[in-house]
Chains A and B, each alone.
Chain A
Amino acid sequence: MNRNFSQIITVTCANPAPMLELVAEWDLNQATSDLMGYMGTRVLADREKFGRYLVIVDFGVVDPNVPAADEAARNNARPETRAFALRMRETLDADPEYHHYDEIYRTDR
Chain B
Amino acid sequence: MNANPTLGVADDDVDETTFVARGVATAVAPDTGLTDAQTDLLEAITHAVAGVSIDFRALEPVGPQEFAEVLRSRRLDDRQRIVHQMVLGELMLRPIPVVVAHRVAMYAEALGVNDDFVRVARRYAQGAFGLAWLDLQHKGFLDHVREASGQRPSHPFDPAQVDPDLAARWTAFADLPVGTLGRGVWELYIGRGFGIPGTEGGAPVYLAQHDFVHVLADYGTNLKGELEVFGLISRADPDPKGFAWLATLIGLFETGYISSAGFFDRDVRERHVRAPGMQLRLADAIRRGKVVCDCYGADLFEVDYHALADRPVEEVRTLLRMPPKSSGAIEEGSVGAFDLEGMSEAQRRIAAQRHGDAT
Contacts and interface: CB of A to CB of B under 8 A. Distances in A.
Report the interface size class on chain A: 10 to 19
A17 B128 CA distance: 24
Nearest to B130: A40
B135 interface: yes
A61 B122 CA distance: 10
A62 B127 CA distance: 10
Report the interface size class on chain B: 10 to 19
B102 interface: yes
A40 B98 contact: no
Given A32-B138, A61-B98, A64-B102, A27 B131 contact: yes
A9 B130 CA distance: 20
Nearest to A30: B131
A9 to B, nearest CB: 18
Interface of B: 98-99, 101-102, 105, 119, 122-123, 125-128, 130-132, 134-135, 138-139
B127 A39 contact: yes
What 10 pairs across the A-B complex have the smallest Cβ distances? A31-B134, A39-B128, A60-B126, A31-B135, A31-B131, A64-B99, A40-B130, A35-B119, A32-B138, A61-B98
Interface string A18-40: 00000000011011101101111
A6 interface: no
Contacts of B130: 27, 40
Interface of A: 2, 4, 27-28, 30-32, 34-35, 37-40, 58, 60-64
Contacts of A39: 123, 126-128, 131
A28 B136 CA distance: 11
B102 A63 contact: yes
Contacts of A28: 134, 138
Nearest to A60: B126
21 contacts: A4-B127, A27-B134, A28-B134, A30-B131, A31-B132, A32-B138, A32-B139, A34-B119, A35-B119, A35-B122, A37-B126, A39-B126, A39-B127, A39-B128, A39-B131, A40-B130, A40-B131, A60-B128, A62-B101, A62-B125, A63-B102
